[in-house]
Chain A
Amino acid sequence: GNSVTQMEGPVTLSEEAFLTINCTYTATGYPSLFWYVQYPGEGLQLLLKATKADDKGSNKGFEATYRKETTSFHLEKGSVQVSDSAVYFCALRSQAAGNKLTFGGGTRVLVKP
């Protein structure tokens, strides 16, 4: 079956620091990969996606590249802001598994001024 493993948090950074959140996956078939972000008291917001190998998803300064050879989809941002403090979820979906989203456990990020 499908599974997603991401680094446990919390990750605490200073403003303008570089952020990396590791995500690896196991999947049946050819999955699409997603990063979602959850701010306190809210639902999940799609941050970026990649649908095939070597695709790079990007949004709001965040980037992630679909690496099929290492089954990874690490999230990066070059210079974080306090407003980036949130919980980040890596997720995948494959037709072979019925199109449901399989999530990682989430990584809490705290950015200090």
Chain B
Amino acid sequence: KAGVTQTPRYLIKTRGQQVTLSCSPISGHRSVSWYQQTPGQGLQFLFEYFSETQRNKGNFPGRFSGRQFSNSRSEMNVSTLELGDSALYLCASMDGQGTNSPLHFGNGTRLTVT
């Protein structure tokens, strides 16, 4: 079974631009979560989608948004990019709904904002 696929692997954007990141979960997984990883803040939860509905949201400004499609694929959008948005963005999928189900992560998209 294919793992979680994130595209693109690398992105370079300029301050003020917007960016869209894509995530394809493991086949059959209906939950997709997004995390931001930076050296200073570590791993922080952005949001989770389940069956096209946002189920949980972290403490990020409204510039960060996401959506999920009927095939469970998810996109994350960041508008009006700031230098501090430079990070590794990780997508994870899960096949259950309970706390016992592990998250399976993709290799991430490395975003650099200049």
Contact = CB atoms under 8 A, between A and B. Distances in A.
Contact of A46 (B58, B102, B106): B102
B19 interface: no
Contact of B104 (A46, A49, A102): A46
Contacts of A32: 99-100
Interface string B73-113: 00000000000000000101000011110111111100000
Contacts of A34: 102
Contacts of B98: 95, 99
Contacts, number: 58
Interface residues of B, number: 24
Interface size class of A (residues with CB under 8 A): 20 to 34
B17 interface: no
Nearest to A94: B99
Interface of B: 4, 6, 33, 35, 42-43, 45, 48, 55-56, 58, 90, 92, 97-100, 102-108
Interface of A: 31-32, 34, 36, 41-46, 49, 51, 89, 93-95, 98-106
